[in-house]
Amino acid sequence: MRILFVSPYPPAKDGIGTYTHVLGGALRAAGHDVAVVTPRPLPGAPPEVIGALGPGGATQALREAEASFAPDVVHVQFAVPAFGSRTPAMVRWLGELSHGRPDGRAAVVTTMHEVTRDTALLRGAGEALYRRIAAGSDHVIVHTAAAQELVPGSQVVPHFSSPPPETTTTPAELRERFGLGESERLLLAFGFIHVDKGLDDLVAALGLLRRRDAGLAANVRVVVAGTVRGRTGPFRLMELRDHVHLRKVLRMARRARLLDRLVFTGFVPDGDIGAWFGTSEAVVLPYRKAEQSGVANLARAFGVPVLATTAGGLAELFADSPWTAPPAKPSSLADLLQRFLTTSPHDPPAHHVPELGETVAATAEAYRTLLNATRADIQADAAQGRVTDGR
């Protein structure tokens, strides 16, 4: 098959881009041809990137590149933060693809990575957006049962466990660089700083833990490994909201005299990722809203325990884990931290994430089923002398 992904893509720093890169590489290894269209021009793009969306939709150059590649499947990897101001352009192009080449157009598949978070944030506008994207797609994939409830007829394909990036830094080097003692117990909050990720709840929980057991808390530090995600166009308002959230977290920590318990690393290079996971006692996901978590999958890959709330899809992911707490409840999160830090040894991460091969097989089978059904419809319409748009 010839598969054209529409997605962020490396070298851009984006979790969905990494997902597409890994999935596309596995599909290519399985014998399929893979190309990529990015939301906006990508300097330093690898050769499989054949074009980018324009501000108003597909450019003539993109239409020509897509026609030259002649995909069997166009697979959109979508979340509002990933496309930002190019979301309307992507929707317009989906409309073109949905009604073009009636004699054998490409099938359109969309993986919706963050249905619950996006619709909770954008409310009615988000729901209308997702309905329109679903209407322009022949098949929709989601990652959780909670998302499937919002997108009837979609297929659940859980987020796979990504191979971890190569580590080029040692835990000892990181501790020295950031002034962390060998005996300090590190809890890792990894990834973009976002208002829905509950960093303020984690700071509040840390303050409660210190009041309950000052000796235990004295040796604990939270590593905030990441920064606020940059946005473009009207979505800069979301970036601004995250900056306001970060300032709130810093004020909370300052007032509670906890600033020395927080370590802000800024952007984390790939070579440092493994070292942060390797030197941390646990990964903390104090999220208030979530659908799935690539951070949880990284923790699984590195064999690090995860302390998580049961927000959204995390409740499914960590259904069998002893290390969970309800979202938006700092006192419960403090209970969880205290219980974890006074329990030894710790069990490995108690959640199942499909291996890459499982996801590749499920995705390729969805393609085949969809293409067979589409071709059968076209042949039936042709036999009856009807004009069809291929749907």
- Identify whether residues 250 and 324 lie together within a single domain: yes
pLDDT at 390: 39
- Identify whether residues 238 and 175 lie together within a single domain: yes
Give the Cα separation of 111 and 175 in Å (integer).
39
pLDDT tens for 233-259 read 777 888 999 999 999 999 999 999 999
- Identify whether residues 6 and 133 lie together within a single domain: yes
pLDDT at 374: 65
Q: What is the CA radius of gyration of the chain?
A: 22
- Identify whether residues 201 and 323 lie together within a single domain: yes
pLDDT at 388: 40
pLDDT at 382: 45
- Identify whether residues 194 and 131 lie together within a single domain: no
Q: Which residue in 99, 77, 64 sits closest to 24, CA to CA?
A: 77
Residue 281 has pLDDT above 50, yes or no: yes
- Identify whether residues 192 and 318 lie together within a single domain: yes
In one-letter notation, the amino acid at residue 305 is: P
Q: Which residue in 3, 7, 382, 13 sits closest to 192, CA to CA?
A: 13
Percent of the chain with pLDDT over 90: 70
- Identify whether residues 55 and 115 lie together within a single domain: yes
Q: Which residue in 220, 225, 224 sits closest to 184, CA to CA?
A: 220
* Domain limits for position 116: 2-160+356-383
Average pLDDT over residues 163-184: 92
pLDDT at 302: 87
Is residue 201 within 8 Å of 286, Cβ to Cβ?
Answer: yes
Number of domains within the chain: 2
In one-letter notation, the amino acid at residue 329 is: K
- Identify whether residues 245 and 210 lie together within a single domain: yes
Task: CATH number of the domain at 190, please.
Answer: 3.40.50.2000
The pLDDT confidence band at residue 391, using thresholds 50, 70 and 90, is very low
Residue 375 has pLDDT above 90, yes or no: no
The verdict on residue 320 lying in a domain is: yes
- Identify whether residues 198 and 298 lie together within a single domain: yes
- Identify whether residues 59 and 133 lie together within a single domain: yes
- Identify whether residues 179 and 203 lie together within a single domain: yes
- Identify whether residues 145 and 124 lie together within a single domain: yes
3-class DSSP string for the chain: CEEEEECCCCCCCCHHHHHHHHHHHHHHHCCCEEEEEECCCCCCCCCCEEEECECCECCHHHHHHHHHHCCCEEEEEECHHHHHHHHHHHHHHHHHHHHCCCCCCCEEEEEECCHHHHHHHHHHHHHHHHHHHHHCCCEEEECCHHHHHHCCCCEECCCCCCCCCCCCCCHHHHHHHCCCCCCCEEEEEECCECHHHCHHHHHHHHHHHHHHCHHHHCCEEEEEECCECCCCHHHHHHHHHHHHHHHHHHHHHHHCCCHHHEEECCCCCHHHHHHHHHHCCEEEECCCCCCCCHHHHHHHHHCCCEEEECCCCHHHHCCCCCCEECCCCHHHHHHHHHHHHCCCCCCCCCCCCCCHHHHHHHHHHHHHHHHHHHHHHHHHHHHCCCCCCCC
